[in-house]
Amino acid sequence: MPECWDGEHDIETPYGLLHVVIRGSPKGNRPAILTYHDVGLNHKLCFNTFFNFEDMQEITKHFVVCHVDAPGQQVGASQFPQGYQFPSMEQLAAMLPSVVQHFGFKYVIGIGVGAGAYVLAKFALIFPDLVEGLVLMNIDPNGKGWIDWAATKLSGLTSTLPDTVLTHLFSQEELVSNTELVQSYRQQIGNVVNQANLQLFWNMYNSRRDLDINRPGTVPNAKTLRCPVMLVVGDNAPAEDGVVECNSKLDPTTTTFLKMADSGGLPQVTQPGKLTEAFKYFLQGMGYRPRGCATHHMLPTMTGDSLGHLHLSCE
C-alpha cells in the first residue's frame, strides 16, 4: 500500500462498487480502523462527530481509518436503476475483504452502528482472520420475521421514510421531545441520502436473518465472535434489548458491555467523550497504547450480563 491513500475511493467488489474514505496512512503493523454506518445514515452523518472529537483524533493519528459507505448511501450517490437488487446483509459483509485487500490491510478493528454493526459482526464470523476487534453499537442479532416485516411495511405507509428511520435511530423520549438532534437528522436523512437507495437498504435490513451466534458451551458447535468485542448501547435506546441479547450470546471473557446513561439512540453523537475513553481502554486491552487524555482511574471491565453504567471523565 502506498504511503497515503487519503481521500475517496470506489472499490470493486463481487457485489458492486463500494464508496470508501481513507483518513491517515498505515502505521507499521497496526490494524486499520474500519467503520460501517447505520441504515438511514452514511459515514459522515454517523461518525463525523465521534471522529472529529479532539481526544478521538489523538487516538486515530496512530491508525489508518477506513470509512465504508453502504452501496448508494454516500453523499451525492446516483440513484440505482429500476430493478437493481440491493445486496443482502451477508453480501454486504462479503464485500469487505475486497476493501481490506485493495489497501493491503492485514486486519481491521471494526466500529459499526446498527445495520453496520450487524454487517461487521457477519464479516467477523465469515472472515475471522481479518478482524482483530469489534466495537458494535446498537446491534440487533435477531432476524426479522414476517410479522415485523408487515409492521415495518405498515409504518412506511403512514409516515415518511425519514420519520420511519428515525424510530430505528432514536429513543422514544428523544422523538417525543423532538430534540434539535432529531430535527437535524430528520432534515439530513431526507436531503443528504438518496431516498430510493435508502429504501432498498432499509428493506434489506428489515428482512435480515438471525446472526446465528451462541455463547460457547451453551449449544453443540456454538458459533460466536472470536475477537474481543465492545458492545455499546444508550440507555432507553430502541436497540437496548437487542444489544442485551447479543451480550448473552458472546464469550464473557472477551466481551465488554458499555451501557451509556443519558446518551439516547446515538451515543457516538451525544457522548463522544465517554465513547472515546472506553475505546481507548478497549485498544489498550488489545495491546495498543495510544497517547490520549490523562485518566486517573481504570475503566471497569463489564463482562457477561453485567449492566452497570459507566461514567467516564477525560481530564
Give the integer Cα–Cα distance in Å for 315 and 312.
10
222 contacts 216 by C-beta, under 8 angstroms: yes
Domain hosting residue 173, numbered range: 7-285
In a domain, 114, yes or no: yes
The C-alpha cell that represents 259 in the structure block: 451501557
Closest CA to 288 of 54, 1, 62, 20: 62
Instruction: List pLDDT tens digits, range 249-288.
Output: 999 999 999 999 989 999 999 999 999 999 999 999 999 8
308 has a pLDDT exceeding 50: no
> Quick one: pLDDT at residue 152?
61
> Quick one: pLDDT at residue 183?
96
What share of the chain in percent tops pLDDT 70? 86
In a domain, 314, yes or no: no
170 has a pLDDT exceeding 50: yes
> Quick one: pLDDT at residue 158?
58
Instruction: List pLDDT tens digits, range 1-60.
Output: 445 678 999 999 999 999 999 998 888 889 999 999 999 999 999 999 999 999 999 999
> Quick one: pLDDT at residue 219?
84
Closest CA to 125 of 208, 227, 243, 251: 227
Sheet bearing 255-260, strands edge to edge: 7-13, 16-23, 65-69, 32-36, 108-113, 131-137, 229-234, 255-260
Side-chain-side CA neighbours of 205 within 13 Å: the count stands at 24
For helices 43-52 and 180-192, angle between their N-to-C axes, nearest 10 degrees: 130
> Quick one: pLDDT at residue 4?
62
Closest CA to 23 of 66, 53, 56: 66
69 has a pLDDT exceeding 70: yes
Q: Where are the beta strands (DSSP E) in the chain?
A: 7-13, 16-23, 32-36, 65-69, 108-113, 131-137, 229-234, 255-260
> Quick one: pLDDT at residue 313?
31
Mean pLDDT of 73-99: 97
Instruction: List pLDDT tens digits, range 144-159.
Output: 765 565 666 665 555 7
Q: What are the two backbone dihedrals, phi and then psi, of residue 281, each rounded to the nearest 5 degrees?
A: -70, -35
Give the amino acid at 178.
N
163 has a pLDDT exceeding 50: yes
> Quick one: pLDDT at residue 32?
97
The C-alpha cell that represents 276 in the structure block: 472515546
> What is the tally of structural domains in the chain?
1
In a domain, 293, yes or no: no
Residue with cell 487524555: 293
In a domain, 216, yes or no: yes
The C-alpha cell that represents 150 in the structure block: 408487515
In a domain, 279, yes or no: yes
The C-alpha cell that represents 177 in the structure block: 421531545
Instruction: List pLDDT tens digits, range 82-93.
Output: 999 999 999 999
CATH of the domain at 68: 3.40.50.1820
- Kindly indicate the confidence band of residue 290, based on its pLDDT and cuts at 50, 70 and 90: low
Q: CB neighbours of 95 closer than 8 A, spacing ≥ 6?
A: 13, 14, 15, 16, 18, 87
In a domain, 306, yes or no: no
